[in-house]
Amino acid sequence: MSGAQPNAEDVRSLALALGFDLVGIADPRPSSETRRFRDWIGAGHAGSMHYLAEGVEKRVDPRLVMEGVRSIVCVGLVYDPGARGPERPGSALIARYAGGEDYHGVVAERLRALALALEALARRPVRSVAHVDTGPVLERALAARAGLGWIGKNACLIHPRLGSFLFLAELFTDLPLDFDTPIGDHCGSCRACLDACPTGAFPEPGVVDSRRCISYTTIELEGSIAEPLREGHGTRVFGCDICQDVCPWNVRTRREVPADTKGLRSRLAPRRSWRAPDLAWILTLGEQAWRAATRGTALRRAKRRSLLRNALIAAGNSGDAGLLPLVRAHASAGDPCLEEHARWALVRLERTGSDGSPE
């Protein structure tokens, strides 16, 4: 490595040695994403995530996130990119990232190690602030600026070799580092993600209307999910990967996953209980059982009530008449939101044809 003043190559070597798969350096000054984000907020696409608007000034100007920031180290870590097996009858789907150890802690641990390594190399105090899907940071925009990929039509960051199943994180630092060059857009005329979305969450390429996005409705939204969107949920109870699963760049990824030299991917891999959880099991989870089952995972982001609501929708879409007794129990459990979703599911299940699918 170089002398006392770390340079961009030093940062890259340290980050890769700590287990990250991608690393780049971004300019902290505002970019063209500023207007796009303001327009997105103004169009109401954030839904009930009002905190996004409240931190808008910092989000569009990273220099307000940390005083004296001179460079932003952006890192990416591949997670669970393998092909899913066939869906088992009566099982639920959860987003690939959610069933293992909570990525916030795993990635933050590595970022702290990176900050300490940079300080040791510099032989002086190095001011830094770490963000892992936390705080007022436009992560995908910064990652794109740092050359980690381009923002695709599904609004995900896509790397040409590693695809989009990536955890992104940033280390704001006062180190003066050379910035990386952005990668051009390689989506071309492909519409796979836009056409595959079952709830029509893309009003235009690269723009997500959260109010129609399954990830938002199953995780962030509290209360009732709009009835016209429910069938599109299928059996998804936490998050959604459809727009990534159909992306041609992720088909490539399944052949090019980097070696898990630091064991990070094994920590992030879904626990056995969440790989294809039974809807019947979820529908019977009491508060204590839910706490035990979700402890240490990102599944805690959605409260137990939301998970049950989502499972009731999934039951209604499953065509599994064997779930009727459990759904009926929720239809008279005393929670207005769950009762309403249970009644919807009952109507669909009671119409289940002899072929096992809703008529």
pLDDT of residue 110: 97
Instruction: Give 219-255 as a DSSP string.
Output: II--SPPPHHHHGGGTTEEE---HHHHT-HHHHHHTT
Q: Are 193 and 153 in contact (CB under 8 A)?
A: yes
pLDDT of residue 162: 93
Kindly indicate the confidence band of residue 132, based on its pLDDT and cuts at 50, 70 and 90.
very high
In sequence order, the β-bridge partners of residue 179 are none
129 Cβ neighbours under 8 A, 6+ residues apart: 65, 66, 69, 171, 172
CB atoms within 10 A of CB 120: 12
The 10s digit of each residue's pLDDT in 28-74 is 998 878 888 999 999 999 999 998 888 788 888 999 999 999 999 99
* In the chain, beta strands by DSSP E: 22-26, 71-78, 93-94, 128-131, 150-151, 157-158, 166-173, 236-238
Kindly indicate the confidence band of residue 255, based on its pLDDT and cuts at 50, 70 and 90.
low
pLDDT of residue 356: 45
Q: Distance between CA 127 and CA 43 in Å, rounded?
A: 37
Residue 163, phi then psi, degrees to nearest 5:
75, -150
Output DSSP code: residue 21: S
Q: Are 45 and 155 in contact (CB under 8 A)?
A: no
Q: Active-site residues: which are they?
A: 133
pLDDT of residue 160: 94
Q: Distance between CA 93 and CA 278 in Å, rounded?
A: 9
Q: Distance between CA 321 and CA 327 in Å, rounded?
A: 10
* 4 pLDDT more than 90: no
- pLDDT: which is higher, 283 or 355: 283
Residue showing tokens 């002398």: 3
The two tokens of residue 6 are 């770390």
Percent of the chain with pLDDT over 90: 81
The mean per-residue pLDDT over the stretch 8-33 comes to 94
In order of 168, 179, 302, 327, the CA distances from 333 in angstroms are 40, 57, 20, 10
Q: Distance between CA 301 and CA 298 in Å, rounded?
A: 6
* 141 pLDDT more than 80: yes
pLDDT of residue 30: 87
Q: Supply angle C-alpha 296, 273, 224, rounded to 5.
A: 75
In order of 19, 175, 199, 214, 313, the CA distances from 231 in angstroms are 40, 50, 9, 11, 8
Average pLDDT, the chain: 92
Q: Is 108 exposed, middle or buried (0-12, 13-18, 19+ CB in 10 A)?
A: middle
Q: Distance between CA 341 and CA 327 in Å, rounded?
A: 9
- How do the domains of the chain map onto residue ranges? 8-83+100-173, 192-257+271-350
Helix axes 336-350, 304-318, angle to 10 degrees: 10
Residue showing tokens 């303001």: 38
Q: Are 65 and 172 in contact (CB under 8 A)?
A: yes
* CA atoms lying within 13 Å on the CB side of residue 72: 31
pLDDT of residue 2: 46
Kindly indicate the confidence band of residue 82, based on its pLDDT and cuts at 50, 70 and 90.
low
